[in-house]
Chain A
Amino acid sequence: KQEVTQIPAALSVPEGENLVLNCSFTDSAIYNLQWFRQDPGKGLTSLLLIQSSQREQTSGRLNASLDKSSGRSTLYIAASQPGDSATYLCAVGSSNTGKLIFGQGTTLQVKP
Chain B
Amino acid sequence: AQSVTQLDSHVSVSEGTPVLLRCNYSSSYSPSLFWYVQHPNKGLQLLLKYTSAATLVKGINGFEAEFKKSETSFHLTKPSAHMSDAAEYFCVVSDGWFGNEKLTFGTGTRLTIIP
- Are A and B part of the same complex? no
